[in-house]
Amino acid sequence: MSRRVAVTGLGVVSPLGCDHNLFFDRLLAGQSGVRRIQTFDVSAYASQIAGEVVDFEVDRFIPKKEQRRMDPFCHYGIAASKLAVQDAGVDFTKEDPTRCGALVGSGIGGLQILEEQMATYHSRGPRFSPFMIPQMITNILAGYVAIEYGLQGPNYCITSACATATHCLGESMRLIRDGEADVMLAGGAEGSICVLGIGGFCAMRALSTRNDEPTRASRPFDRGRDGFVIAEGAGVLLLEEMERAKARGAHIYCELAGYGRTCDAYHITAPHEQGAGASRAMANAIADAKLRPEDITYVNPHATSTQLGDLCEIQAVKTTFGEHAKKLALSATKSMIGHGLGAAGGLESVALAHMIEKGVVHPTINLEDPDAGCDLDFVPHKARELKINAALKNSFGFGGHNATLCFKAVS
């Protein structure tokens, strides 16, 4: 079926705020949401900084009794979903519930609940909460969102590490385009800033240790980058069939027009050295949108600020676009909010929807000394006005998972 997919609702819970307009304004200003971790004592850890959510009022979104039965990743994801529905102006009580669904995932799931339950075990013995398993599993968030709105259509969770939210968005687009749904809530959430999360990534030596300069620690493409900055939050978009959205007079930010997904089949944590899988994902997304590489104006890269990851992604961009790569604008959202893991693609897609609608690109901050080979236009330091006709959003995850979305201006 030849159905188009509109983006009509945006919801965020982020280190830069829990309102999508405020979130984008702060991105445009080049403001960093990274700081020293406040939620537990990090003095014994090599990395002591993160993009924490600091102004989140869970009582606004979830009754207290229900809060206690959920991990923070569900708090964030439910809130972002409600904000997206509110922004879109959809009343699900007036919709056919079998035509509405939710794909809202998490890369790690209930890590904080697992940590708490193990602490209880060591202090009191085997006294586990009956809610432990449903609190932990990554798919429970999609279930909660469906229950909240009575969504009886497609409902499941894609867990693909840091590509989670992008896969959820892409598959939701396909469900609408193929006629299996009319409205989908899609994105991702993460709440892994805890002892296990920080300790595990520190053991991998994956995190930045620029602890004395938190706001300067996330520095994609810079020669001085030393690892990613972990972050938390949620990014959820409400997607709906284009003609339906127009008929109800919805505010349409942009169109989600293409989707590519591939696997490196190379290494569990390292990307392919030439970025082969990432390049194919980009090419597939462009083709799926029925566009040519030269039609793309902007790329929102995965850009984690790791030594190998950034270089491989740039190589993939150059392979995909050839000489046109020099004409692209790219800017790294993670330079300001850190890496939200399974939520990253959702948060960055919210930012990209704003960039397309408003014709302005947020900057890459902390890019002071571009690394060798990082010679593309990364929009350093300051936002830039730019008319975007079509753009890509890249996300890559441990396991070799690659996902790319292609967004277009509404025509």
**Could you tell me which residues come within 8 angstroms of residue 65 by beta carbon, excluding any fewer than 6 positions away?**
none
* Dihedral in degrees, nearest 10, Cα atoms 181, 182, 188, 189: -110
> Among residues 235, 239, 240, which one has the least CA distance to residue 80?
235
| Contact predicate 198/207, CB 8 Å | yes
362 in active site: no
| Contact predicate 49/217, CB 8 Å | yes
DSSP state of 126: S
On the CB side of 334, CA atoms within 13 Å amount to 36
167 in active site: no
Q: Active-site residue among 20, 302, 354, 401?
A: 302
Whole-angstrom Cα distance, residue 33 to residue 398?
A: 24
**Strand-pair category, 183-190 with 100-105:** parallel
Whole-angstrom Cα distance, residue 331 to residue 227?
A: 18
**Could you tell me which residues come within 8 angstroms of residue 114 by beta carbon, excluding any fewer than 6 positions away?**
132, 136, 196
339 in active site: yes
| Contact predicate 282/392, CB 8 Å | yes
Q: Active-site residue among 18, 162, 202, 374?
A: 162
Whole-angstrom Cα distance, residue 169 to residue 14?
A: 18
> Catalytic residues, which ones?
162, 302, 339
